Amino acid sequence: MNFLNIFVFFCLLCTALQLYIYKKNSATKKNGSNTNNDIEDSPSNPSTSFLSNEEKKKFSKFQIEYLTVYLLAMAADWLQGPYVYALYESYGFSKPDIAILFIIGFVSSLLFGMIVGPITDKYGRKLMTIVFCLLYSISCITKLLNNFSVLLFGRLLGGIATSLLFSVFESWMVYEHNFRGYDPELLSSTFYKSTLLNGVVAIVSGLWASDSANRWGFVSPFLWAILLLIICGLIVLSQWSENYGDNSNSSRSNNSSHSNNSLNNDDSLSSKFFNALQFVKEDQSVLKLGATQSLFESSMYTFVFMWTPTLSETGELGALPFGLIFATFMVCVMIGSSLFNLIPLKPESLIQVILLVSSLALLIPAFFNDSFIVYGSFLIFEVCCGLYFPCVGTLRSAYIPESMRATIMNLFRVPLNLLVVLILVNVSSLSNDTVFLVCSIWLLIAYVLQKYILKDSKQPISLK
């Protein structure tokens, strides 16, 4: 199998899609004043053609303000990924010890995620973004020491930072988007761009980490990550406004008055947590969204652990170019995010298609051993991931109330991390086929919940 040719093909496909989207948007802008315009916006990603030039400039500036910080944080995360296992192995730790380190990261995210959500909503998203940069930087520093206890502590901090990474940035952005008066439907534009550009960042970070590791050793990517986190934190400190988990406009502040006032209200961390838990239990729209996120992302994280040994064990591919395969995966994610920009389905309908196709894609390696078929199914799953992230982000922004956004987002990650830990603990006793079958079943369950069982109990918040 020629992996380079496959990579080039998908790069060309991604480029063609981007050119088509660019021409489509240009035509939309040109004909924006025509009521009988033949070019229609996708429900999943509407055009900004209805904005005035001044509004477009402000909205673009806002997107750049958010995406710069978000992509710096993601780059710091991507830089570390390829060399965590290799670094532990170079320190002489056994596979069981390394497995413990990985599991601790997920357990930490599982346990502390229930705490950092209410803290974020109560004390501020900007503050907790800076805390994220600090915790993740310390986690990277621990990688410099060949000491199991220190590395264990680093994984503990890394787990907390991961919970913040996948909740606090989005919570800040959604609040600011609504506070500044932008149309709620334009949120999908930001989610689309963040997923697309994250794919680019992942590829560049992977190449950067590889070159750095070859030059200066396995620890060097973690040092680069610290630099990016420092830059990220400084930008947040100097440019972002503070906002909180509150429905009132007064919850946006540039000082500490909110924190002082909140202490006098019935706004304790425990009440925020239990109120969010009760809300999820009673609102089937949010419950369905949480089940979807937990089941899809647990399958995705399991896939991250399984694709390398699965392709290696086919016995037909020879020496695998893992870097090139990973880059191809990321291009497929970019293709998926581009398709999100084009598919004329509402997010509520599109997520069902994503779940069903993803389930079928991960079912294939459970029953087929042909290297070409298995690799093809992996690429299809990555396209689904590219569709999933902007889709679920749009749904979260519509259905999760602002007053408990970060809390609920972290609640969604509790079953996610639990499922991944269960797989990791038992992975040595499970065949690759069985693991993929389990993931396929998880996705099928999510599809059935979406399609047939759990019904929407309300209109999206953004449409009220």
Gap between the Cα atoms of 99 and 425, Å rounded: 8
**Do 284 and 226 belong together in one domain?**
no
Looking at the structure of the chain, the number of domains it has is 2
Does residue 49 surpass a pLDDT of 60? no
Residues 151 and 224 in one domain: yes
Residue 386: what pLDDT?
Answer: 95
Say how far apart CA 190 and CA 170 lie, in whole Å: 10
* The amino acid at 207: L
Indicate the pLDDT class of residue 313, thresholds 50, 70 and 90: confident
Six token digits for residue 377: 């199914």
DSSP secondary structure code for residue 240 in this structure: P
Residue-number span of the structural domain to which 78 is assigned: 53-188+201-239
* Sign of the dihedral defined by the CA atoms of residues 343, 347, 353, 355, in that order: positive
Asked if residues 326 and 304 have their Cβ atoms less than 8 Å apart, the reply is: no
In a domain, 438, yes or no: yes
From 36, 100, 45, select the one nearest 340 (Cα to Cα). Answer: 45
Asked whether residue 235 falls in the same domain as residue 271, the answer is no
Q: Does the residue 400 lie in any domain?
A: yes
Quick one: 285 and 232 in the same domain? no
Alpha-carbon distance of 303 to 204, in angstroms, equals 21
441 in the same domain as 309 = yes
What CATH number has the domain bearing residue 321?
Answer: 1.20.1250.20
Higher pLDDT, 283 or 68: 68
In three-state secondary structure terms, 179 is helix
Alpha helices in 313-431 (DSSP H): 322-340, 347-367, 371-399, 405-426
> What is the Cα–Cα distance from 367 to 364, expressed in whole angstroms?
6
The pLDDT > 90 percentage for the chain reads 59
Q: How confident is the model at residue 36 (pLDDT cuts 50, 70, 90)?
A: very low
235 and 276 housed in the same domain: no
| Residue 462 is assigned to a structural domain of this protein | no
Flag whether 155 is in a domain: yes
pLDDT in tens, 226-257: 999 999 999 999 999 999 886 544 455 544 44
For residue 21, what pLDDT is reported?
86
Q: Which of 80-84, 238-242, 288-292 has the lowest mean pLDDT?
A: 80-84
Shared domain check, 224 and 276? no
Q: Is residue 25 part of a domain?
A: no
Over the stretch 338-391, which tens digit does the pLDDT of each residue have?
999 899 899 999 999 999 999 999 999 999 988 899 999 999 999 999 999 999
Residues 360 and 324 both lie in one domain: yes
Residue 388, CA distances (Å) to 158, 340, 367 in order: 24, 8, 25
Q: What per-residue confidence (pLDDT) applies to 457?
A: 53
The answer on 225 and 292 residing in a single domain is no
Domain shared by 86 and 222, yes or no: yes
The verdict on 319 and 206 lying in the same domain is no
Is the residue at 2 inside a domain?
no
Nearest to 59 by CA among 70, 49, 69: 49
pLDDT beyond 60 at 317: no
Is the pLDDT at 324 greater than 90? The verdict is: no
- pLDDT value of position 41: 53
Indicate if 394 and 283 belong to the same structural domain. Answer: yes
Instruction: Give the tens place of pLDDT for each residue, 92-125.
Output: 998 889 889 999 999 999 889 889 999 999 999 9
Residue 264 has pLDDT above 50, yes or no: no
Q: Is the four-CA dihedral 152, 154, 158, 160 of positive or negative sign?
A: positive
pLDDT band for 39, please (50, 70, 90 cuts). very low
Dig out the tokens for 173 from the structure: 């952005």
What's the pLDDT score for residue 42?
Answer: 56
Average pLDDT of the chain, as a whole number = 87
37 domain-assigned: no
Residue 70 DSSP code: H
Say if 292 falls within a structural domain.
yes
Our CA dihedral for 387, 81, 161, 273, rounded to 10 degrees, sits at 40
Residue 256's CB is within 10 A of a number of other CB atoms, namely 12
Closest CA to 152 of 91, 210, 213, 206: 91
pLDDT at 435: 94
pLDDT at position 47, please?
A: 56
